[in-house]
Amino acid sequence: MKKLLILLLAVILLCACKPILPDGDLRPEVAVTVNALYDITSYIAGDAVNVVSVIPDGAEIHDYSPTARQIESLRTAAVVVLSGLGVDDVFANVLRDREVCVASDGIAPRLTDTGAVDPHMWLSPTDAIAMSRNICAALIAAMPDHAAEFQTRCDELTAELATTAEVCAARAKSGVIVTTHEAFGYLCRDLGLTQLSVSGLYAEGEPSARQLAELIQYCKDNGVTRIYAESAANPAVAETLARECGAEIVPLYTMESAEGGMSYIRRLQYDIDRLTLG
């Protein structure tokens, strides 16, 4: 009986000493916003790190409001990765008291025709190389013991992105594409294309009747046969536009949220294939 009590006491002490986080995952936590950065960060970090997305699947990042609990967990994460250029300012604003990695730091932003900063930099393979390197540097600074493995995987990823950028350069052609959400400016730049959008940079609201009428007329006058649409945009607008000008709707991935269980690179290659259809 005495031996049993000692054994029981030993088990209780062992359990008491082992720190258990709420989700039971003992690995360092890295929090990210945009889904593309979740994929990039997960690839570089590997199994040593628990990468978590603070934007729930299917949520709209452009007008997302974090909960108090999410903000608290961001304060305690080993690394916080933001995209920057305004798309996740809501997180930057509440995390002024801690260091964060802004993946777009040091990369020249694209301006729209109206002079607004386009935040969708992750949709360019060229810019994604620089973003990956920024993320890798932040991971290494926070977890230097894993520096070699982080760097090896970052080199693998950037080599694949460089190959994808070469594909863009090889397929570059002039032309105008019509999209619902104005998210593909960086990728269109890489492909030599000009983007004409239905709903503006942040997919907010709907176009006015006059804007829609002008776009329908443009599509008719220029023989537009495809309307490129993303899932977060209003499908009714894309359907109206496609119907009025006899075009088909072609889906694209914005990678702002998880889509179809596909990796970042696979979605990027998918978008390039669709935007360069003959």
Would you tell me which residues interact with Zn ion (CB under 5 A)?
Answer: 183
Closest separation between CB of residue 202 and Zn ion, Å? Answer: 6
- Pick between residue 79 and residue 177 the one whose CB is nearest to Zn ion: 177
Closest separation between CB of residue 62 and Zn ion, Å? Answer: 6
DSSP helix/strand/coil, 209: helix
Closest separation between CB of residue 60 and Zn ion, Å? Answer: 9
Closest separation between CB of residue 117 and Zn ion, Å? Answer: 12
Closest separation between CB of residue 252 and Zn ion, Å? Answer: 11
Of 79, 85, 163, the C-alpha closest to 129 is 163
- Pick between residue 136 and residue 183 the one whose CB is nearest to Zn ion: 183
Please give the Cα distance from 105 to 60 (Å, whole number): 23
- Pick between residue 42 and residue 254 the one whose CB is nearest to Zn ion: 254
Type of residue found at 51 = V
Please give the Cα distance from 268 to 272 (Å, whole number): 6
Closest separation between CB of residue 230 and Zn ion, Å? Answer: 8
Of 138, 232, 227, the C-alpha closest to 176 is 227
- Cα–Cα distances in angstroms (integers) from residue 262 to residues 35, 37, 48, 54, 220, in the given order: 11, 14, 22, 19, 34
> CB under 8 Å to 54, separation ≥6 — which residues?
31, 32, 33, 66, 70, 73, 74, 91
Closest separation between CB of residue 103 and Zn ion, Å? Answer: 15
- Pick between residue 101 and residue 233 the one whose CB is nearest to Zn ion: 233
| Cα dihedral 186, 34, 42, 27 in deg (nearest 10) | 160
- Pick between residue 79 and residue 183 the one whose CB is nearest to Zn ion: 183
DSSP string, 95-161: TTTS--EETTTTSPPEE-TTSPEE--GGG-HHHHHHHHHHHHHHHHHH-GGGHHHHHHHHHHHHHHH
- Pick between residue 118 and residue 190 the one whose CB is nearest to Zn ion: 118
- Pick between residue 115 and residue 278 the one whose CB is nearest to Zn ion: 115
Angle between helices 209-221 and 235-245 (to 10 degrees): 40
What is the edge-to-edge ordering of all strands in the sheet holding 193-197? 193-197, 175-179, 226-229, 248-251
